[in-house]
């Protein structure tokens, strides 16, 4: 008897606050035959609200706990390796992405030791500098799994929360499904699928977004305009230019969205 059943087609939705809503506009677009939600300005605003709500608790978690959460993401990508391969992600890239989540997980309780310091002062005081997260970071993400990992992991491991605009929707939403089934609290990472040129300007101008990562913007005129817009609200901006995600990432992606807090404390006698 011939097979008469129609398979269920997947719709790639947004990932906001730990849930998978459709765009509030109802818009979709086709990518390789798949239906993908086309994010709007209102979706970006909702994602920023979710990120801001999640940020204080995420920042207050111990560095060791954040490392555990990132390591769990690596475990879940390993378990769903076949899904990424179906989307055309090479096995070597999946492995490199898993390793990078583990790498950043290992830095979670060490970055403060490297970037903080006990400062020498002339007087009976302790003078201590320690890094703190910037807050909510808007990210224009690369289309690849390794590129996406390389901008998300360093931002959240230090206590920031993220609103990511992802031009590679199937890979980004599949990664969001990994996040939703791991230990990442809802709102820590939010994923908007659609057109960076449409959504990124709203993140750049949003008063409640504290940082902007332009790694995924190839259009240099657009990147420059986003930098100008971000300056209006004194955002930290990361614009690395051409990036080779296969090399050692160093500490730059983590320190880009850290603030240094310095405190004085009198010494006892």
Q: What pLDDT, on the 0 to 100 scale, is given for residue 34?
A: 87
On the 0-12 / 13-18 / 19+ scale of CB atoms within 10 A, 243 is middle
User: For residue 171, what are its two tokens?
Assistant: 């890979």
∠ CA 175-94-220, nearest 5°, is: 70
What confidence score (pLDDT) does residue 122 get? 83
Q: Which long-range contacts link 1-9 to residues 24+ away (Cβ below 8 Å)?
A: 9/34, 9/35
Hunting for tokens 């100008």 — which residue is that? Answer: 228
Residue 240: predicted pLDDT: 86
> Around 98, how many Cα atoms within 13 Å sit in the side-chain half-sphere?
17
Report the alpha-carbon distance of residue 160 to residue 59 in Å, rounded.
7
Cα–Cα distance for residue pair 235/230, rounded to 1 Å? 5
Q: What is the residue whose two structure tokens read 């990994």?
A: 178
Q: Spell 56-94 as b/e; 16+ CB within 10 A means b.
A: eebbebebeebbebbbbbbebbeebeebbeeeebeeebb
Q: How high is the pLDDT of residue 125?
A: 83
pLDDT at residue 1 in the model: 54
Alpha helices in 22-120 (DSSP H): 41-60, 63-79, 81-86, 91-107, 111-115
Residue whose tokens read 């199937």: 170
What per-residue confidence (pLDDT) applies to 97? Answer: 97
- List domains and CATH numbers for the chain: 13-266 (3.40.605.10)
pLDDT of residue 265: 85
Q: What is the CA radius of gyration of the chain?
A: 20
pLDDT, tens digit, 9 for 90 and up, residues 33-42: 889 999 999 9
With a pLDDT cut of 90, the percent of the chain lying above it is: 78
Q: How many CA atoms lie within 13 A of 21 on its CB side?
A: 17
This prediction has a pTM of 0.92
Question: What pLDDT is attached to residue 269?
Answer: 57
In the predicted model, residues of the chain with pLDDT beneath 70 are 1-2, 268-269
Residue 235, pLDDT score: 96
């Amino acid at each position: 008897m011939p097979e008469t059943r129609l398979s269920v087609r997947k719709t790639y939705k947004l990932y906001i606050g730990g849930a998978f809503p459709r765009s509030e506009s109802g818009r979709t677009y086709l990518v390789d035959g798949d239906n993908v939600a086309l994010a709007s300005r209102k979706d970006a605003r909702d994602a920023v609200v979710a990120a801001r709500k999640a940020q204080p608790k995420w920042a207050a978690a111990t560095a060791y706990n954040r490392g555990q959460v990132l390591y769990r993401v690596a475990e879940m990508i390993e378990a769903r390796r076949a899904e990424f391969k179906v989307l055309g992600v090479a096995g070597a890239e999946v492995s490199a992405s898993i390793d990078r989540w583990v790498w950043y997980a290992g830095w979670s309780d060490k970055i403060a030791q490297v970037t903080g310091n006990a400062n020498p002062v002339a007087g009976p005081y302790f003078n201590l500098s320690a890094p703190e997260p910037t807050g909510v970071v808007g990210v224009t993400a690369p289309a690849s799994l390794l590129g996406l990992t390389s901008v998300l992991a360093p931002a959240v491991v230090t206590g920031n929360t993220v609103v990511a605009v992802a031009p590679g929707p199937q890979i980004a939403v599949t990664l969001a499904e990994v996040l939703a089934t791991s230990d990442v609290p809802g709102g820590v990472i939010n994923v908007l699928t659609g057109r960076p040129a449409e959504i990124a300007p709203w993140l750049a101008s949003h008063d409640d977004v504290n940082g902007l990562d332009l790694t995924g913007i190839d259009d240099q005129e657009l990147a420059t305009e986003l930098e100008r817009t971000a300056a209006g609200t004194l955002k930290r901006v990361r614009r690395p230019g051409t990036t080779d995600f296969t090399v050692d990432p160093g500490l730059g992606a983590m320190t880009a969205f850290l603030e240094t807090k310095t405190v004085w404390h009198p010494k006892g006698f």
